[in-house]
């Protein structure tokens, strides 16, 4: 095998090797594989990542790669499910964008690819107490109102501000569910949807699952570009824009006050809805958090999405849609078709946590912790990956957006980083079409502490060095 051999070929040859080994056996080291198969480190990293993703091997950072224990599924004669390929026809849900591309990380991996905060930053004690109390209420297991528990809708309306009323709020099972409901309610199959570029991959997946077609519109340091937006509406005839004006995922940008007005004006002039994903409202790093677009929306153009999973905990799956007019009727109908209503005890627990004076304290201390972690991460990146560029220090959110040095492939580096024991997200997942440059999204909220954060960056730097002979 020579240097130009693909990682797919190497993975095939390693599968043959695996068939001769027993579960728990150690594979040859990366160095040995490079030598034996005469390939580069990136090819080895990609091949091992593919085998890990299919569950054939497990990698233990600092120790090596081992043959996975065979599951019952592997031992039994495999069922013939080929008929499903014919029955399923076209792909309705983009599994690529929904799944973690490299599978679950091996034990010991430092998590810098998560969209949630570490358990030590979650108000777990308050949540547990609130849920226990909610479960003891006499009406705990009754049906909940389809729009959500009224007191919770009232709190969401108050948080949004402006003239939003509790009746304009629909409680959902988190932000992802809210996005999926909104896209299906607003646009019909085949319609274009304008999206920021880059954007949240699972919003792209929800757009595609609704049969819609994402059309990217560029961002700069001030957020979505209104001039490009006007062109995109004119060219595509789209009636829907999906955007995150505040602490955008992945770039962390905040849409300026001036542009907020312009974007609403452009959308109104195009007769289009704006789905405002305000997932990060409670993730500010201590400065003022801008008003949501919906608070200044006079005529029902904005459909606002919010969620509690980020500032509280991933399993507090409570979010909300805020909108006015017939679009709200449609979204309520979709909600009912999906699953009637959100589990009542969870709504009651969310209500108690949100209404308690300790919630504001929690949000403030979370903001301080995020700001500190963000600074630690940025400093560590500057030191360990001097050729890469942090594209801007965010004032809120959970991630940094890092532009990679020329010639470095983000998916190859992500796979190599896994080998080194750190999980980061490849930037190409965040683009609806061809990425203009290679990036990584690096999270600073899911690690245990600052030490783990800097160790994660050290491992990432080592992974980049591993690739140097191959990628320059």
Ligand X SMILES: Cc1ncc(COP(=O)(O)O)c(C=O)c1O
Find the binder of ligand X among 41, 148, 175, 290 (CB under 6 A): 175
Find the binder of ligand X among 40, 105, 148, 319 (CB under 6 A): 319
Site string for ligand X, 334-373 (x = CB under 6 A): ----------------------------------------
Considering the complex, state which of residue 43 and residue 307 has its C-beta at the smaller distance from ligand X: 307
**Which residues are bridge partners to 213 per DSSP?**
192
Count of residues engaged in binding ligand X, rule: CB under 6 A:
12
Considering the complex, state which of residue 98 and residue 135 has its C-beta at the smaller distance from ligand X: 98
The pair phi, psi for residue 383, each rounded to 5°, is -75, -45
**In the complex, what is the shortest distance from the CB of residue 249 to ligand X, in angstroms, rounded to a whole number?**
4
Q: Which stretch binds ligand X (CB under 6 A): 85-93, 140-148, 172-180, 231-239?
A: 172-180
Considering the complex, state which of residue 37 and residue 279 has its C-beta at the smaller distance from ligand X: 279
Distance, CA of 204 to chain centre: 11
* CA 326 – CA 340 distance, rounded (Å): 19
Considering the complex, state which of residue 175 and residue 214 has its C-beta at the smaller distance from ligand X: 175
Q: Which of 45, 63, 37 is nearest to 468 (CA)?
A: 45
* CA 448 – CA 452 distance, rounded (Å): 6
176 binds ligand X (CB under 6 A): yes
**In the complex, what is the shortest distance from the CB of residue 316 to ligand X, in angstroms, rounded to a whole number?**
9
431 binds ligand X (CB under 6 A): no
Site string for ligand X, 264-293 (x = CB under 6 A): -------------x-x--------------
Q: Which of 282, 238, 243 is nearest to 264 (CA)?
A: 243
Q: Which stretch binds ligand X (CB under 6 A): 30-38, 169-177, 326-334, 450-458?
A: 169-177
Within 102-131, the residues that bind ligand X by CB under 6 A are: 115
Considering the complex, state which of residue 156 and residue 200 has its C-beta at the smaller distance from ligand X: 200
Q: Which stretch binds ligand X (CB under 6 A): 1-9, 123-131, 174-182, 222-230?
A: 174-182
Within 379-418, the residues that bind ligand X by CB under 6 A are: none
Find the binder of ligand X among 309, 414, 419, 471 (CB under 6 A): 309
The interaxial angle of helices 7-20 and 30-37, nearest 10 deg, is 110
**In the complex, what is the shortest distance from the CB of residue 315 to ligand X, in angstroms, rounded to a whole number?**
9
174 binds ligand X (CB under 6 A): yes
Find the binder of ligand X among 307, 395, 447, 454 (CB under 6 A): 307
* CA 207 – CA 100 distance, rounded (Å): 18
* CA 164 – CA 252 distance, rounded (Å): 26
Considering the complex, state which of residue 206 and residue 263 has its C-beta at the smaller distance from ligand X: 206
**In the complex, what is the shortest distance from the CB of residue 112 to ligand X, in angstroms, rounded to a whole number?**
14
∠ CA 102-104-105, nearest 5°, is: 85
Find the binder of ligand X among 200, 273, 359, 431 (CB under 6 A): 200
* CA 350 – CA 348 distance, rounded (Å): 5
Q: Which of 201, 197, 205, 395 is nearest to 285 (CA)?
A: 395
* CA 126 – CA 131 distance, rounded (Å): 9
SS3 labels along 113-147: CCCCCCHHHCCHHHHHHHHHHHHHCCCCCCCCCCC
- Residue that is written with structure tokens 């062109």 in the block: 231
Considering the complex, state which of residue 308 and residue 463 has its C-beta at the smaller distance from ligand X: 308
Within 216-245, the residues that bind ligand X by CB under 6 A are: 244
User: Other CB atoms closer than 10 Å to residue 327's CB: what's the count?
Assistant: 18
147 binds ligand X (CB under 6 A): no
* CA 25 – CA 18 distance, rounded (Å): 9
Q: Which stretch binds ligand X (CB under 6 A): 136-144, 168-176, 182-190, 379-387?
A: 168-176
249 binds ligand X (CB under 6 A): yes
Q: Which stretch binds ligand X (CB under 6 A): 170-178, 342-350, 383-391, 441-449?
A: 170-178
Considering the complex, state which of residue 200 and residue 233 has its C-beta at the smaller distance from ligand X: 200
* CA 329 – CA 356 distance, rounded (Å): 31
Three-state SS at 67: strand
| Per-residue DSSP letter, 160 | H
Q: Which stretch binds ligand X (CB under 6 A): 66-74, 173-181, 379-387, 433-441?
A: 173-181
**In the complex, what is the shortest distance from the CB of residue 354 to ligand X, in angstroms, rounded to a whole number?**
14
* CA 86 – CA 424 distance, rounded (Å): 35
What Cα–Cα distance (Å) separates residue 158 from each residue in 52, 91, 165, 358? 47, 40, 8, 17
Considering the complex, state which of residue 309 and residue 471 has its C-beta at the smaller distance from ligand X: 309
Considering the complex, state which of residue 42 and residue 178 has its C-beta at the smaller distance from ligand X: 178
* CA 202 – CA 415 distance, rounded (Å): 21
Q: Which of 434, 133, 61 is nearest to 52 (CA)?
A: 61
> Do you find a cis peptide bond into 469, omega within 30 degrees of 0?
no
Residues at the site binding ligand X, with contacts judged by CB under 6 A:
115, 174-176, 200, 244, 249, 277, 279, 307, 309, 319
């Amino acid at each position: 095998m020579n240097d130009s051999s693909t990682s797919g070929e190497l993975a095939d040859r390693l599968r043959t090797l695996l068939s001769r080994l027993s579960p728990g056996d150690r594979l040859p080291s990366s160095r040995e594989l490079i030598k034996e198969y005469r390939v580069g480190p990136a090819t080895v990293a990609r091949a091992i990542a593919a085998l890990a993703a299919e569950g054939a091997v497990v990698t233990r950072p600092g120790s090596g790669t081992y043959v996975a224990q065979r599951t019952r599924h592997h031992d039994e004669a495999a069922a013939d499910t080929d008929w499903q390929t014919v029955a399923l026809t076209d792909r309705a849900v983009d599994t690529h964008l929904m799944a973690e591309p490299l599978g679950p990380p091996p034990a010991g991996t430092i998590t810098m690819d998560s969209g949630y905060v570490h358990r030590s930053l979650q108000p777990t004690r308050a949540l547990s107490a609130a849920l226990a109390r909610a479960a003891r209420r006499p009406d705990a297991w009754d049906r909940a109102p389809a729009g959500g528990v009224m007191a919770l809708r009232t709190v969401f309306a108050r948080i949004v501000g402006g003239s939003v009323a509790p009746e304009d709020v629909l409680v959902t099972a988190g932000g992802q569910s809210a996005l999926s409901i909104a896209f299906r309610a607003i646009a019909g199959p085949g319609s274009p949807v304008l999206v920021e570029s880059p954007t949240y991959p699972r919003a792209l997946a929800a757009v595609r699952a609704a049969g819609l077609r994402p059309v990217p519109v560029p961002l700069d340091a001030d957020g979505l570009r209104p001039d490009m937006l006007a062109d995109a509406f004119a060219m595509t005839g789209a009636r829907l824009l999906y955007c995150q004006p505040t602490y955008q995922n992945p770039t962390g940008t905040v849409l300026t006050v001036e542009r907020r007005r312009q974007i609403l004006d452009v959308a109104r002039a195009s007769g289009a809805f704006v789905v405002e994903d305000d997932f990060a409202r409670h993730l500010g790093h201590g400065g003022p958090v801008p008003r949501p677009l919906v608070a200044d929306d006079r005529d029902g153009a904005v459909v606002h999405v919010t969620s509690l999973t980020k500032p509280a905990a991933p399993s507090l799956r409570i979010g909300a849609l805020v909108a006015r007019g017939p679009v709200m009727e449609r979204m309520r109908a979709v909600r009912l078709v999906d699953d009637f209503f959100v589990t009542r005890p969870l709504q009651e627990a969310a209500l108690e946590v949100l209404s308690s004076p300790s919630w504001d304290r929690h949000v403030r201390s979370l903001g301080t912790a995020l700001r500190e972690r963000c600074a630690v991460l940025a400093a560590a990146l500057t030191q360990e990956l001097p050729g890469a560029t942090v594209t801007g220090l965010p004032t809120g959110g959970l991630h940094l957006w890092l532009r990679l040095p020329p010639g470095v492939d983000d998916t190859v580096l992500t796979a190599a980083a896994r080998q080194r024991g750190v999980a980061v997200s490849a930037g190409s997942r965040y683009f609806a079409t061809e990425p203009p440059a290679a990036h990584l999204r690096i999270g600073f909220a899911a690690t245990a502490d600052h030490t783990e954060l800097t160790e994660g960056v050290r491992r990432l730097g080592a992974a980049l060095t591993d690739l140097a002979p191959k990628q320059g």
